[in-house]
């Protein structure tokens, strides 16, 4: 047997109270069993039907909300996947840019070294050409026409 609900318990107590009141009046109600709940009035089935209809309508609304939430979840999962793919693409681009930057840095360093080596060689040559010692070691044919730089005294 099903466990009695609060409504059934209240109805049972109300029925027992009525039976006690009837017994105090001296009326004899032996033909009705006291353990049965009182019969429902005619208005109750309509209200139960309306309650069932309200519950069905609420269930329908909740099912629609569930469907909407599932659609939103699917859209969010799709957007998340696109963002994840974009992130992977950006990370690969960042790695490529970093590698290119490092390669350019290395090339610049090598170019700077080569430039400063060449500049050093040219400056060394210029100093050697401008040195008075170099002028004294020139052949006579080259040294005789040059009056701008006097020979170095010994």
Residue 119: its pLDDT value, please?
A: 93
11 closest CA partner among 46, 44, 47: 44
Q: Are 1 and 36 in contact (CB under 8 A)?
A: no
The conformational region for residue 26 under phi > 0 = left, psi -120 to 50 = alpha, else beta, is left
Helix (H) or strand (E) holding 10: helix 6-25
Residue 120: its pLDDT value, please?
A: 92
95 closest CA partner among 87, 84, 106: 87
DSSP H helix total and E strand total for the chain = 4, 0
Top pLDDT among 23 and 117 is at 117
Q: Are 135 and 151 in contact (CB under 8 A)?
A: yes
Q: How confident is the model over 40-95, as pLDDT tens digits?
A: 555 555 688 888 999 999 999 999 999 999 999 999 999 999 999 999 999 999 99
Whether the model clears a pTM of 0.75, i.e. scores above it, the answer is no
């Amino acid at each position: 047997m099903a466990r009695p609900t609060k409504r059934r318990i209240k109805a049972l107590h109300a029925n027992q109270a009525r039976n006690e009141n009837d017994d105090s009046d001296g009326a004899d109600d032996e033909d009705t069993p006291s353990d049965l709940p009182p019969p429902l009035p005619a208005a109750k089935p309509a209200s139960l039907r309306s309650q069932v209809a309200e519950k069905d309508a609420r269930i329908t609304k909740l099912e629609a909300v569930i469907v909407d939430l599932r659609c939103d979840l699917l859209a969010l999962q799709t957007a998340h996947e696109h963002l994840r793919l974009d992130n992977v693409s950006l990370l690969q681009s960042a790695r490529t840019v970093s590698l290119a930057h490092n390669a350019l840095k290395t090339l610049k360093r090598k170019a700077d070294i080569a430039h400063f080596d060449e500049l050093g060689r040219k400056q060394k040559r210029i100093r050697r050409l401008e040195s008075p010692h170099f002028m004294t070691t020139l052949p006579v044919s080259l040294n005789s026409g040059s009056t701008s730089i006097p020979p170095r005294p010994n």
